[in-house]
């Protein structure tokens, strides 16, 4: 299948996902994990080794009764960052092809490629630079939308978020007040608590800035496993750089600016060992030309593969 070189509407994404599942029924399971505020589906895509090839390779991980490694990846938390869902959808397709060919399929892969369908739709119809979801304001004459990357625990309501509904960083009324963050939280918690799985990696795709950010994001205090986080970030970045030689910077999220209530700090607290918010191309604008969609995907797929291998290697 050719990679998607164009930005898709939400409806096109839905067709793309249904099509992928029907083409690869042994490797892809599409589910709806909730509905957005305006009633759009929040999709989860599970990609996995087919049971036939798992049986053939018995003697490996699963049959020894050890948990299988798992990874959770999201895109589209922020509506205007179009390259994020575009990249995640291409990653999802490439991972599916790998699993169907029975190569590089050692994990259970969970993708939530479009976390904010209402906001995304709004960027196509009304305002290209909309960031938040489209939650109606608590008070009339107030402003719409909650920042889905300020609505999580721990540290909800702390620095770098706002209680003013009109702000881009409005945090919502309570932690997980939004159906979109609740859906993602529930899925991540379920995977983390599944004794058959070992949730090792979390990747959240955003733009722009060319950054690989690791926790904490709410404080410049060092995370307890900062050395591991930095190492994994460098593994991702070195592999990425090898593809198109584009510079990304690995740093602690709070060094960009402290922001509390983001998904990465939640993921790190679950706990997940390797947690990154990746700010994709470029360094100037949310308007990334279409001809950079494939390039962005290619370099980040290399980073992702290298990180996943690192996370399961003996020498990590
Ligand atoms: O501010 C954000 O939510 C992210 N940047 S963006 O330009 N895509 O909006 C960065 C979040 C980094 N993580 C934390 N600060 N926890
Ligand atoms: Zn963002």
**Domains plus CATH for the chain?**
10-127+177-312 (3.40.630.10)
How far apart are the C-alpha atoms of 106 and 128, rounded to whole Å?
Answer: 38
CA torsion angle for 113, 117, 119, 122 (degrees, to 10)?
120
How much is the pLDDT for 56? Answer: 81
Ligand nearest to the CA of 212: 1
Pocket test for ligand 1, best of 74, 153, 217 (most atoms within 8 A of CB): 217
Q: Could you tell me the pLDDT band of residue 253, with boundaries at 50, 70 and 90? A: very high
Angle, CA 169 vertex, CA 256 and CA 137 arms, to 5°: 170
CA atoms of 40 and 179, how far apart (whole Å): 11
Q: Flag whether pLDDT at 50 surpasses 80.
A: yes
Query: Is the distance from the beta carbon of residue 206 to the nearest atom of ligand 1 less than 6 Å?
Result: yes
197 has a pLDDT exceeding 60: yes
Statement: residue 141 has pLDDT above 90: no
pLDDT for 142: 86
72-99 per-position pLDDT tens digit? 999 999 999 999 999 999 999 999 999 9
Segment 266-293 shows an average pLDDT of 98
pLDDT band of residue 5 (cuts 50, 70, 90) is: very high
Of 83 and 1, the structure prediction assigns the larger pLDDT to 83
What contacts 189, CB < 8 A, 6 or more positions away? 270
Q: Distance between CA atoms of 82 and 208, rounded to whole angstroms?
A: 10
Say what the pLDDT of residue 64 is.
60
Nearest alpha carbon, ligand 1 atom 1: 259
How many C-beta atoms lie closer than 10 Å to residue 6's C-beta? 8
Answer whether 77 contacts ligand 1 (Cβ < 6 A).
no
Instruction: Give the number of the ligand closest to the Cα of residue 219.
Output: 1
Give the max Cα distance, the chain. Answer: 63
* Ligand 1 pocket residue status of 213, Cβ below 6 Å: yes
- Closest CA relative to residue 200, chosen from 78, 67, 86: 67
- Cα–ligand 1 centroid distance for 177 (angstroms): 19
Residue 265 CB less than 6 A away from ligand 1: yes
- CB-based contact 252:214 (threshold 8 Å): yes
Euclidean distance between CA atoms 244 and 102, whole angstroms: 27
Q: Looking at the predicted structure, is the pLDDT value of residue 143 above 70?
A: yes
Ligand 1 lined by 262 (C-beta under 6 Å): yes
Check whether the bond before 208 is cis (ω within 30° of 0): yes
Ligand located closest to 85 CA: 2
Please tell me the predicted confidence (pLDDT) of residue 314: 74
Q: Confirm or reject: Cβ of 299 under 6 Å from ligand 1.
A: no
pTM reported for the whole predicted model: 0.97
Q: What is the ipTM of this complex?
A: 0.99
- Give the number of the atom of ligand 1 that is nearest the alpha carbon of residue 206: 8
Report CA(134)–ligand 2 centroid distance (Å).
16
Measure the CA–CA gap between 189 and 267, rounded to whole angstroms.
9
Q: Is the pLDDT of residue 63 over 70?
A: no
Residue nearest to atom 3 of ligand 1 (CA): 149
Q: Cβ distance 26 to 51 under 8 Å?
A: yes
Work out which ligand 1 atom sits closest to the CA atom of 81: 8
pLDDT range class, residue 65, cuts 50, 70, 90: confident
Laid out side by side, the sheet with 108-112 consists of 28-35, 41-47, 108-112, 68-75, 197-207, 274-280, 211-214, 249-252
Q: From atom 15 of ligand 1, which residue's Cα is the shortest distance away?
A: 217
As annotated, the active-site residues are: 279
Residue 65 CA to ligand 1 centre (angstroms): 38
| Residues around ligand 2, an ion, CB closer than 5 A | 78, 81, 206
């Amino acid at each position: 299948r050719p990679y998607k070189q164009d930005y898709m509407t939400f409806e096109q994404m839905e067709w793309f996902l249904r099509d992928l599942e029907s083409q690869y029924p042994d490797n892809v399971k599409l589910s709806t994990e909730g509905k957005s505020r305006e009633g759009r589906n929040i999709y989860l895509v599970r990609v996995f080794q087919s049971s036939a090839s798992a049986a053939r390779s018995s003697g490996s991980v699963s049959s020894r009764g050890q948990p299988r490694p798992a990874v959770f990846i999201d895109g589209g938390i922020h509506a205007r960052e179009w390259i994020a869902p575009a990249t995640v959808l291409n990653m999802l397709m490439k991972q599916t092809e790998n699993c169907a060919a029975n190569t590089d399929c050692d994990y259970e892969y969970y993708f939530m490629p479009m976390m904010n369908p209402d906001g995304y739709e709004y960027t196509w119809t009304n305002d290209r630079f909309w960031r938040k979801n489209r939650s109606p304001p608590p008070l009339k004459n107030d402003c719409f939308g909650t920042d889905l990357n300020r609505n999580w625990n721990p540290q909800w309501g702390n620095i770098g978020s706002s209680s003013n509904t009109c702000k881009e960083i409005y945090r919502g009324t309570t932690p997980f007040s939004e159906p979109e963050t609740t859906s993602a939280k529930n899925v991540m918690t379920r995977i983390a608590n599944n004794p058959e799985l070992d949730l090792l990696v979390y990747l959240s795709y955003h733009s722009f800035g060319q950054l690989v950010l690791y926790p904490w994001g709410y404080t410049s205090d060092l995370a307890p496993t900062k050395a591991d986080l930095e190492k994994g970030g460098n593994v991702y970045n070195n592999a990425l750089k090898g593809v198109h030689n584009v510079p990304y910077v690995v740093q602690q999220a709070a060094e960009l600016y402290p922001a509390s209530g983001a998904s990465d700090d939640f993921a790190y607290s679950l706990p997940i060992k390797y947690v990154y918010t990746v700010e994709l191309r470029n360094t100037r604008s949310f308007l990334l030309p279409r001809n950079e969609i494939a390039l962005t995907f290619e370099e980040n797929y290399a980073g992702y593969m290298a990180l996943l291998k690192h996370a399961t290697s003996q020498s990590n």
